[in-house]
Structure 1
Amino acid sequence: MSDKSVTTAPASSPAPSRPAKLNVVPVRHYGRGIGATIVVLLILGLIYSFATNPNFNWGIVAQYLFNPNVLRGLGVTMVMTIVGMVLALVLAVVIGVMYMAESRVMRWFAAGWVFIFRGIPLIVLLIFLGNLGLFFKRIVIPNPFTGGAFLDVATADVVSPFIASILGLALAGSGYMAEIVRSGLLAVGRGQREAAKALGMRSGMTLQFIVLPQALRIIVPPLGNEFIGMLKASAIVSVIAGGDLLTVVLGLSSLNFRTIEMLIVATIWYLLVIAVFSVAQFFLERKVAER
């Protein structure tokens, strides 16, 4: 009997099972939808009530929105805010650095500066600066070599309402910004200053090339908010007739007796300017964060 080779066919492997198709149902957030609907309805209702209110004369608003006097007042407000912001920032950096000084006298001076100009209400400061000529009749800078004076002018001729407004905004803003600068400087580790000192760098170079570039990431965002706050606070200079936007619209309202409509004109311009600077602040913060 001959042996016959028997070949057995390999057992077929079972077909891979397909995963069961899951029917994923997103979680329903009915509360969010209801809340969003209520908010939208409230906003639309508020807009509708203002738009259809017979007590508002929107024709007056449209008539004076691009009035040359209003635009000139807006320009004064912008110049006043930008110059005041620059001066306040310079003072804030100086006061913030004095806060970090080793001299106790400088630290006390910086603390006193912040205490005074954060504590005095802006309207009080503006009224005082606007009437500075009542207390100091003349501004005199003596010349010790000739016995004469380098400068001798009447205070009222130098400190006009516009100059007094800029000084008031700058001094008040410096009190708040100095704390912002100080917090940014403190955020940079002391070890980096000590390392720079060990490398032979002077304090000024350490501040310029090591401390301030890192502190900018912390300083820039709140400074943008301070600028917007100063822009709104510039309306207070109307108490000394600083020539700003609010001063102009209040003057026009005394002629047409439409105070609310003129205040709406000022409000529209304030909101538009703040919206533009808010967008600029967003891109500036993102640019600083990328460094």
Structure 2
Amino acid sequence: MSQEQPLKVVPVRHPWRWVTGAILAVLIAQAGVSVVTNDNFGWPVVWDYLFDERIIRGLQNTLVLTVLSMLIGVFGGILLAIMRLSGNPLAAGVASAYIWLFRGTPLITQLIFWFFFAALFPRIGLGVPFGGPEFVSWDTNVLITQFYAALLGLGLNEAAYMAEIVRGGIQSVDEGQTEAAGALGMTRGRVLRRIVLPQAMRVIIPPTGNQTISMLKTTSLVIVIGYYELMVAAQTIYSRNFQTIPLLITAALWYLALTSALTVVQMQIEKRYSRGTSRSVKAQRGLVNRLLASGSDRV
């Protein structure tokens, strides 16, 4: 009886991978050489204006606008998500209408609308509604400046998108946990704070990071109302020296640098909130039980 010959394992060859890789390497090298050697890019101009005082001032305004708009968007989104998921039909209807309106109209339209809000209401006041006496009022043009118009447009628009992100995160949590917490006597607010939101953050954080990065670049739309941010700073300079491409590259380099920094921060936050996802189901149930027990002691 002859012995069986051992099977000879031959690795699968992928010649087209090497061909594709070689072609891509040549194209990338050619593009890189063209970018570096083409004088029309104006790299000396780019380096001269990269840390120009006007560019840095526009960059600071962009960062302030991004942070404040995201704060309005996040807190407004949480409030809208809770309203939409509530059992109150009026609150749910108002939240749904808000999301429909702000997601259904262009952001640039909303920015211009807030900037010209004085055309509708020349004065804004506080008093008794439906024609009652007015206690205090302000000139709308003085109250809603370019900055506040930009903040209202970006922040309120972002709240509509964040509402759907938060709602998806809340709905991703098993309803059995909220029912168990309710059976233990925990209030809806405590269940939301101690059980639902901490687990929903794993779903909420990644798209929120993407929204923040998107907001950083979306702030460039406030150019339509003339608020001085990074793109307006670049436009102001190249409208005088006619170095359009170098100034656009200068702004793009700052956007890339800030986007890269935000991406690193997002990865760290995601890493923090993803701790424990590899635990067994038994360990996860044990954690939920401890949270419920801790919550019931404080009800």
TM-score by length of 1: 0.87
Map 1:33-44 → 2, pairs under 5 A: 33-44=18-29
Partner of 1:182: 167
Structure 2 unaligned runs (5+)?
A: 277-299
Cα deviations across residues 154-178 of structure 1 (Å, max 9, x unaligned)?
1111211111111111111111111
Q: Which residue of 2 aligns with 1:13?
A: none
Deviation at 1:28, TM superposition (A): 3.6
State how far apart, in whole Å, the 2-side matches of 1:67 and 1:169 are: 27
Match of 2:35 in 1: 50
**Cα distance between partner residues in 1 of 2:138 and 2:63:** 28
User: Mean alpha-carbon deviation: is it higher for 38-47 or for 183-192?
Assistant: 38-47
Q: Is the 8 A contact 2:42 2:245 kept in 1?
A: no
Is residue 125–residue 134 contact of structure 2 (8 Å, CA) maintained in 1? no
Counting matched residue pairs gives: 270
Please name the residue that 2:297 is paired with: none
Matches of residues 185-264 of structure 1 in structure 2 within 5 Å? 185-264=170-249
CA distance in 2 between counterparts of 1:155 and 1:240 reads 16
Matched, 1:268 2:253: yes
C-alpha deviations, 1:245-291, integer Å up to 9, x for none? Answer: 00111011111111121111111110110011111111110111015
Task: Point out the structure with the larger helix share.
Answer: 2
For the 8 Å contact 2:82–2:167, the answer to whether it is kept is yes
What residue identity is the alignment partner of 1:125? Q
Aligned-partner residue type, residue 166 of structure 2: V
**Offset of residue 27 of structure 1:** 4.1
* Residue of structure 1 aligned with 2:156, choices 148, 171, 177: 171
Give the secondary-structure state (helix, strand or coil) at the position aligned to 1:290: coil
What's the % identity of the aligned pairs?
A: 39
Give the Å deviation of 1:223: 0.4
| CA displacement at 1:82 relative to structure 2 | 0.7
Q: CA deviation at 1:234?
A: 0.6
CA RMSD of aligned residues (A): 2.1
Q: Secondary structure at the match of 2:137?
A: strand
Mapping 1:1-291, distance limit 5 Å: 26-142=11-127, 149=135, 151-290=136-275
Question: Over residues 75-121 of structure 1, what are the superposed CA-to-partner deviations in whole Å (9 max), with x where a residue is unaligned?
Answer: 10011001100110000000101111001111111111111111110
Distance 2:20 2:94 in 1: 52
Letter of the 2:170 partner, please give it: L
Residue 32 of structure 1 deviates from its aligned partner by 2.5
Larger Rg: 1
Kept in 1, the 8 Å contact 2:237–2:247? The answer is: yes
Structure 1, 133-142 or 157-166: larger mean CA deviation = 133-142
**Counterpart Cα distance in 2 of 1:81 and 1:127:** 18
Counterpart amino acid of 2:107? L
SS at match of 2:40: coil
The gaps in structure 1 that reach 5 residues or longer are 1-19
Q: Is the 8 A contact 2:81 2:166 kept in 1?
A: yes
SS in 2 for 1:78: helix
The one-letter amino acid paired with 1:224 is G
Q: 1:181 is matched by which residue type in structure 2?
A: V
When structure 1 is superposed on structure 2, of 267-276 and 153-162 the one drifting more is: 153-162
Output the TM-score relative to the length of structure 2.
0.85
Paired amino acid for 1:119: G
